[in-house]
C-alpha cells in the first residue's frame, strides 16, 4: 500500500504560507456584493448630512442665511462655524501641525471649502437644504501660483496666522510661507557645483493630481446618549489615530469611542487625514441624538479631499566629464493649498523627499523645501506616494536624463556607473538615510537584457532616420527608471504622527481546535491583508492560512496601530505578525516538549509540528499542541495560546525597481502608445507573488494616468477645472497597456522575514518611466524638459514647438 504520510512539500503546500500565490480570500465577498462599505451602514433613525460649499477660492463669508433651508421638509439643522465655535470645533488640527477650518470661519480659502452642514432625514432632503442655504460672499484676490504667493504684496491668505513668525516646522518668512525644511550640506554642495566639469540644471514640475478612489470618503457617527458611547464608522486608513484625535478634540474619553473602518473601496492615501465631514457627522449625532451619515460625491472628493504632489523642484546635478555624479542640489517650492494638511511624520514636513539622491552614490547633496499657502484644496501626501518619494524619484530620474543629454551619454550607462554598489549596503546617503539592502546592478542588467535594450536603441535610431527621411511620422521613446523606495515608517525615535510613535501591532489567538484569529493595527483598502498576513502566520506557526481569520479596523478589538499608508503594513505590521507568531511558537515548543516528555531544547519546529531532534517519528502537530494548551494542566505554563506584538522597526526598508517603457509617439496627433512596459520589482522576501503582481499592475496604471493625462488644474480665479471624471482622466482597460512583471529578491536584513513594502513602488517608479519615454522620443530634437501630464495636446505642442510640424 502507498505510504499515506504527506511529504514535507505537501505539508508546506497545505499551509499556503509565504511565497504561495494564495487566492484572495476577501474576493468571495467582494465579487458577490457582500462587501460592507460605509455607505452600506444603515442604522435606525439615521440622518444624513451634506455640505454647503464655497463657489469661490478666496472670499469673505459675511452672512449665512439658513431660514429658507430650515423650511425644507426633512431638514433638521443647519450647522455653521458659529455653532461649532462654543464647542471649540470650528477648527481642527491637521496631521502637519497646522489647523484647518471645519466650517468657514469668516472666510474661505479654496473652491469647494465646507461652509455649512445641513442635517436632514435623508440624502435628498439634505441636498434640497444645501440648495436653500444662501451665503453672502465678498470676493478676495486669488493666488493659485505658489511663487506669486511668496511675493511681498501677495494677499494674506491665512489671517489667523497673521504676525506669526514661527510655524509648526520652524520660522515663517512671509505671510503665505509655511515652513522651510533643509537637509544635507549646502556649502559643500555649492562648492561641488562651482568646481564641477559639468552641471545640468532644470526645473522639474510634478503637477497636482488626486487619487480619486472608487469609493469616496464618508463616515457614520452614532452617539448613544444612554451608554455615552460614540461609534464612528468611516473610510479611515488609520482608525486608531482617528480615535485618539476624536477623543482629544471632543473631550470624549477614548474608551467611550469606538472607531470602525469597514471595507474600504480604495484609499491610496486619500483617506489618511481628518475631514470636516467626520467632525460634522459626530457633532450632528451628539446634537440630534441620532446616527448621522456623511458621504461625499465624486466632485466633492476631487475638489476638497487630499490632493497629491504639486511640487516645483529646481535641480542642479554635477558630474565629471566621464559621468560620475559629484553632487545634487534641489530647491522645492511645495504648494500646500489653503491649509497644511499634509499627512507626514511630524519631523518630515516634506515627507521623505530627502531620498531624492535615489539609487545613486552621490557624495554631496543639499535639499531645501519651502511649503507655501495658496487658494487651493489642502492635502499633499496621497496617491501611492510613500511620503513624497514619488516626487523625489521623479526629480532624480528626470535629472539623470537631463544630465545624460548634457554629457551626450546613454542614460542606462550613466545610471549604471553611478549606482550604489551591492557591497556598499547598508549605505548612508548624503541626505541622511541608511539604505538597508540593495543589488541595483543585478536588477538593472536583468531589466536591460529582458527588453533587449541594445536592439531597442538600434531600432529607435533606424526609426529616427526614417522620420527624418519622411518615411514615418512616428517617433520611438525608451523610458528608463531605477528607483529606490523608502517604506515602513518607522522607527518610533524618528517617526510619529501627532506624537504617536509609528510602531504597529498584531495579536494572534489560537483556538483549541487549531484554527486562529489574528488582529492588526493596520487596515486593508484593497491590498489583500486578510490573505497575506494569514500567510505569514501560516509559515511562522504551521497552521494553514485557510484556518486563520484576519481582522483589522475595529479599535475595540484590534491592538493599537498607526494604520495603512506609506506601504508600511508589511514592513511594520508584517514584522509584528511574524514576531507574535514566534511568541506563540516558543510557547508551543514548551507544550510540545512536555507532551513528548523531553527537554524544551530537544524538540525542533518542522513546518506544522514540533519533532524530537533525531527522532522525526516522534512529534506533536500544531493542532495537537493547540488543543493541549486548553486541555492539559502543564506545569509552569499558563493555559491558552495567544500572543501580541508591538513592533518598532529598527529602520525603514528600501525596496527598489528597474522599469523600462517603450512608447510610440504620433507627432501629428500627439498620441502616445505604450508598446512595452517592463517592471522589475525587488521588495525583499515575497509573501504572495500574485498579490504583488496585482499591486504592481494597479500602481502602474495609476502611474500611466498621472504621467499621461491626470491633473487637478485651476484657472486664475481658483476654479477647479477637473472636478469631474469627464475632465479628470481615469484609464480604462482601453488605455491600459500590457505589463511584464519581473523580480529580484534582496531581503531586508533587519525585518524578521526579510520583507519590504511594494504597494507604492509601481507609482514611484512608473511615473518617471512613462515621462522619460516621452522625453526620450524628442531628445534628438533638443527637448530636455516638458511638464506632465503628457496628454495628446501637450505632446502635440511639444512636437510643434520643436518644429516637427513644418
Residues designated catalytic? 237, 384-385, 760
How many angstroms separate the CA atoms of 629 and 204, rounded?
A: 61
Q: What angle do CA 58, 62, 64 make, to 5 degrees?
A: 105
Q: Which residues between 558 and 597 bind ligand CUM (CB under 6 A)?
A: 565-566
Closest contact distance (angstroms) between CB of 396 and ligand CUM is 18
Q: CA 52 to CA 72: how far, in whole Å?
A: 15
Chain Cα centroid distance, residue 765: 14
Kindly compute the dihedral angle of the four CA atoms of residues 500, 501, 502, 508, in this order, to the nearest 10 degrees.
-90
Closest to ligand MCN by CB, 412 vs 575, is 575
Residue 771 touches which member of ligand MCN, ligand CUM, none, C-beta under 5-8 Å by kind: none
- With binding defined as CB under 6 A, does residue 355 bind ligand CUM? no
Q: Residue 487 interacts with ligand CUM (CB under 6 A)? A: no
| Radius of gyration (C-alpha) of the chain in whole angstroms | 28
CB of 265 to ligand MCN, least distance (A): 8
Stretch of residues binding ligand CUM (CB under 6 A), selected from 4-12, 261-269, 610-618, 627-635: 261-269
SS3 266: coil
Q: Which is nearer to ligand CUM, 382 or 537 (CB)?
A: 382
Report the nearest approach of ligand MCN to the CB of residue 380 (Å): 13
Nearer to ligand MCN, 272 or 319 (CB): 272
Site for ligand CUM in 176-235 (CB under 6 A): none
> Residue 381 binds which one of ligand CUM, ligand MCN, none, with CB within 5 to 8 A depending on kind?
ligand CUM
Q: Is residue 384 a contact residue for ligand CUM (CB under 6 A)?
A: yes
- Binds ligand CUM by CB under 6 A, chosen from 17, 267, 358, 371: 267
Binding site partner of 757, from ligand CUM, ligand MCN, none, Cβ cut-off 5-8 A by kind: ligand MCN
Burial class (CB in 10 A: 0-12, 13-18, 19+), 802: middle
Q: By C-beta, is 48 or 383 nearer to ligand CUM?
A: 383
Least distance between ligand MCN and beta carbon 574 (Å):
6
**Site size for ligand CUM (CB under 6 A):** 13
* 378-386, 447-455, 674-682, 689-697 -> range binding ligand CUM (CB under 6 A): 378-386
Phi, psi at residue 341, to the nearest 5°?
A: -115, 35
Nearest distance, CB of residue 343 and ligand MCN, angstroms = 11
Binder to ligand CUM among 56, 117, 268, 778 (CB under 6 A)?
Answer: 268
Span near ligand CUM by CB under 6 A; candidates 78-86, 179-187, 262-270, 791-799: 262-270
CB 387 to ligand CUM: min, Å: 6
For residue 260, what are the β-bridge partners? 233, 554
Helix residue ranges per DSSP H, 38-185: 67-71, 81-84, 123-132, 146-149
State in angstroms the smallest separation of the CB of 421 from ligand MCN: 23
Least gap, CB of 516 to ligand MCN (angstroms): 17
Q: Which is nearer to ligand MCN, 338 or 757 (CB)?
A: 757
The single residue among 146, 269, 553, 698 that binds ligand CUM, judged by CB under 6 A, is 269
Indicate the SS3 state at residue 116: strand
DSSP E strands, 95-190? 99-101, 107-108, 114-120, 134-139, 166-167, 170-171, 177-184
758 binds, among ligand CUM, ligand MCN, none (CB under 5 to 8 A by kind): ligand MCN
Distance of alpha carbon 803 from alpha carbon 800, whole angstroms:
5
Q: How far is the CB of 339 from ligand CUM (least distance, A)?
A: 18
Would you count residue 306 as binding ligand CUM (CB under 6 A)? no
Which contacts (CB < 8 Å, 24+ apart) does range 716-722 have?
A: 716/142, 716/144, 717/57, 717/142, 718/56, 718/57, 718/58, 718/110, 718/111, 718/142, 718/144, 718/375, 718/376, 719/57, 719/111, 720/111, 720/112, 720/302, 720/303, 720/377, 722/302
Site for ligand MCN, rule CB under 6 A: 266-269, 384, 525-529, 532, 564-570, 683-688, 691-692, 695, 698, 755-760
CB 798 within 8 A of CB 498: no
Q: Does 382 bind ligand CUM (CB under 6 A)?
A: yes
Nearer to ligand MCN, 527 or 710 (CB): 527
Nearer to ligand CUM, 234 or 267 (CB): 267
Intra-chain end-to-end CA distance of the chain, in Å: 83
Nearest to 308, CA basis, from 767, 773, 795: 767
User: In the complex, which residue's CB is closest to ligand CUM?
Assistant: 269
Write down the least CB distance from residue 385 to ligand CUM, Å. Answer: 3
Of 791, 758, 752, whose CA–CA distance to 774 is shortest? Answer: 791
Contact 789, 702 (CB under 8 A): no
The distance from CA 207 to its chain's CA centroid, rounded to whole angstroms, is 17
Candidates 265-273, 410-418, 687-695, 740-748 — which segment interacts with ligand CUM by CB under 6 A?
265-273
Which residues is 52 bridged to in the sheet? 116
| Shorter beta-carbon distance to ligand MCN: residue 169 or 568 | 568
Decide if 380 contacts 334 (C-beta within 8 A): yes
DSSP letter string over 546-591? GGEEEEESBTTTSPP---S-TT-IIIIIIHHHHHHHHHHHHHHHHH
CB atoms within 10 A of CB 543: 27
Output 412 or 692, the one with its CB closest to ligand MCN.
692
Specify the residue, 118 or 691, whose C-beta has the smaller distance to ligand MCN.
Answer: 691
Counting other chains too, the contacts that 450-458 makes at CB distance below 8 Å and 24 or more residues apart are 450/660, 450/678, 450/680, 450/740, 450/742, 451/660, 451/662, 451/676, 451/678, 453/412, 453/478, 453/660, 456/662, 457/410
* Residue 798 grid cell: 511639444
Q: Which stretch binds ligand CUM (CB under 6 A): 59-67, 97-105, 253-261, 267-275?
A: 267-275
In the complex with ligand MCN, which residue's Cβ is closer, 642 or 760? 760
Residue 741 beta carbon to ligand MCN: minimum distance, rounded to whole angstroms:
13
Report the C-alpha gap between 355 and 137 in whole angstroms.
44
Residues that bind ligand CUM (CB under 6 A): 237, 267-269, 272, 381-386, 565-566
Amino acid at each position: 500500500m502507498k505510504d499515506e504520510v504527506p511529504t514535507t512539500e505537501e505539508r508546506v503546500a497545505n499551509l499556503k504560507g509565504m511565497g504561495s500565490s494564495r487566492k484572495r480570500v476577501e474576493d468571495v465577498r467582494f465579487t458577490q456584493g457582500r462587501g460592507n462599505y460605509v455607505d452600506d451602514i444603515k442604522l435606525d433613525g439615521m440622518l444624513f448630512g451634506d455640505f454647503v460649499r464655497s463657489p469661490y477660492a478666496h472670499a469673505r463669508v459675511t452672512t449665512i442665511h439658513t431660514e429658507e433651508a430650515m423650511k425644507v421638509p426633512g431638514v433638521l439643522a443647519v450647522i455653521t462655524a458659529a455653532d461649532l465655535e462654543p464647542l471649540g470645533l470650528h477648527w481642527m488640527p491637521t496631521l502637519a501641525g497646522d489647523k484647518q477650518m471645519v466650517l468657514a470661519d469668516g472666510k474661505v480659502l479654496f473652491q469647494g471649502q465646507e461652509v455649512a452642514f445641513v442635517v436632514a432625514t435623508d440624502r435628498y432632503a439634505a441636498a434640497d437644504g444645501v440648495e436653500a442655504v444662501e451665503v453672502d460672499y465678498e470676493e478676495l484676490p486669488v493666488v493659485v501660483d505658489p511663487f506669486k504667493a511668496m511675493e511681498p504684496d501677495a494677499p494674506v491668505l491665512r489671517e489667523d496666522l497673521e504676525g506669526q513668525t514661527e510655524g509648526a516646522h520652524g520660522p515663517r518668512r512671509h505671510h503665505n510661507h509655511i515652513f522651510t525644511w533643509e537637509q544635507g550640506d549646502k556649502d559643500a554642495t555649492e562648492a561641488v557645483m562651482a568646481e564641477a566639469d559639468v552641471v545640468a540644471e532644470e526645473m522639474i514640475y510634478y503637477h497636482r493630481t488626486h487619487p480619486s478612489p472608487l469609493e469616496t470618503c464618508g463616515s457614520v457617527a452614532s452617539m448613544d446618549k444612554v451608554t455615552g458611547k460614540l461609534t464612528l464608522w468611516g473610510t479611515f486608513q488609520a482608525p486608531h489615530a482617528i480615535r485618539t484625535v476624536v477623543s482629544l478634540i471632543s473631550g470624549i474619553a477614548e474608551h467611550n469611542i469606538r472607531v470602525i473602518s469597514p471595507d474600504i473601496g480604495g484609499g491610496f492615501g486619500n483617506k489618511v487625514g481628518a475631514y470636516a465631514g467626520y467632525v460634522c457627522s459626530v457633532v450632528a449625532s451628539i446634537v440630534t441624538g441620532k446616527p448621522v451619515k456623511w458621504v461625499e460625491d465624486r466632485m466633492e472628493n476631487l475638489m476638497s479631499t487630499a490632493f497629491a504632489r504639486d511640487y516645483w523642484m529646481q535641480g542642479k546635478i554635477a558630474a565629471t566629464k566621464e559621468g560620475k555624479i559629484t553632487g545634487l542640489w534641489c530647491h522645492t517650492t511645495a504648494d500646500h493649498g489653503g491649509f497644511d494638511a499634509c499627512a507626514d511624520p511630524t519631523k518630515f514636513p516634506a515627507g521623505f523627499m530627502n531620498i531624492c539622491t535615489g539609487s545613486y552614490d552621490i557624495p554631496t547633496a543639499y535639499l531645501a523645501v519651502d511649503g507655501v499657502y495658496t487658494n487651493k484644496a489642502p492635502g499633499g501626501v496621497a496617491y501611492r506616494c510613500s511620503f513624497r518619494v514619488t516626487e523625489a524619484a521623479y526629480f532624480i530620474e528626470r535629472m539623470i536624463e537631463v544630465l545624460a543629454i548634457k554629457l551626450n551619454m546613454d542614460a542606462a550607462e550613466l545610471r549604471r556607473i553611478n549606482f550604489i554598489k551591492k557591497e556598499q549596503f547598508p549605505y548612508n546617503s548624503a541626505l541622511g538615510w541608511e539604505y538597508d539592502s540593495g543589488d541595483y546592478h543585478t536588477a538593472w542588467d536583468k531589466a536591460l537584457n529582458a527588453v533587449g535594450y541594445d536592439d531597442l536603441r538600434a531600432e529607435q535610431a533606424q526609426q529616427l532616420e526614417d522620420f527624418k527621411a519622411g518615411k514615418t511620422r512616428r517617433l520611438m521613446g525608451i523610458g528608463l527608471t531605477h528607483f529606490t523606495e523608502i517604506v515602513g515608517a518607522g522607527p518610533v525615535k524618528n517617526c510619529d504622527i501627532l506624537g504617536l510613535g509609528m510602531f504597529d501591532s498584531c495579536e494572534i489567538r489560537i483556538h483549541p481546535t487549531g484554527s486562529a484569529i489574528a488582529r492588526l493595527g493596520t487596515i486593508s483598502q484593497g491590498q489583500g491583508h486578510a490573505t497575506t498576513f494569514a500567510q505569514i502566520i501560516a509559515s511562522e506557526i504551521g497552521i494553514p492560512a485557510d484556518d486563520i481569520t484576519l481582522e483589522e479596523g475595529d479599535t475595540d478589538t484590534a491592538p493599537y496601530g498607526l494604520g495603512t499608508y506609506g506601504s508600511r503594513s508589511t514592513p511594520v505590521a508584517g514584522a509584528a505578525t511574524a514576531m507574535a507568531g514566534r511568541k506563540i511558537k516558543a510557547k508551543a515548543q514548551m507544550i510540545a516538549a512536555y507532551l513528548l516528555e523531553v527537554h524544551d531544547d530537544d524538540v525542533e519546529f518542522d513546518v506544522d509540528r514540533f519533532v524530537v531532534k533525531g527522532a522525526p517519528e516522534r512529534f506533536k502537530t500544531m493542532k495537537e499542541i493547540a488543543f493541549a494548551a486548553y486541555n492539559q494542566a502543564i506545569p509552569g505554563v499558563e493555559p491558552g495560546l495567544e500572543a501580541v506584538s508591538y513592533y518598532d522597526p529598527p529602520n525603514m526598508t528600501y525596496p527598489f525597481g528597474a522599469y523600462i517603457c517603450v512608447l510610440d509617439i504620433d507627432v501629428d496627433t500627439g498620441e502616445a502608445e505604450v508598446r512595452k512596459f517592463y517592471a522589475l520589482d525587488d521588495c525583499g522576501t515575497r509573501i504572495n507573488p500574485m498579490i504583488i503582481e496585482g499591486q504592481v499592475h494597479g500602481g502602474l496604471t495609476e502611474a500611466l494616468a498621472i504621467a499621461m493625462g491626470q491633473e487637478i488644474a485651476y484657472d486664475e480665479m481658483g476654479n477647479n477645472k477637473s472636478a469631474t471624471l469627464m475632465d479628470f482622466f481615469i484609464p480604462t482597460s482601453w488605455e491600459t497597456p500590457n505589463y511584464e512583471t519581473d523580480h529580484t529578491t534582496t531581503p531586508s536584513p533587519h525585518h524578521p522575514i526579510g520583507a519590504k513594502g511594494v504597494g507604492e513602488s509601481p507609482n514611484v517608479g512608473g511615473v518617471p518611466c512613462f515621462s522619460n519615454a516621452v522625453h526620450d522620443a524628442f531628445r534628438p530634437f533638443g527637448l530636455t524638459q516638458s511638464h506632465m501630464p503628457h496628454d495628446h495636446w501637450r505632446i502635440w505642442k511639444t512636437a510643434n514647438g520643436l518644429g516637427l510640424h513644418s
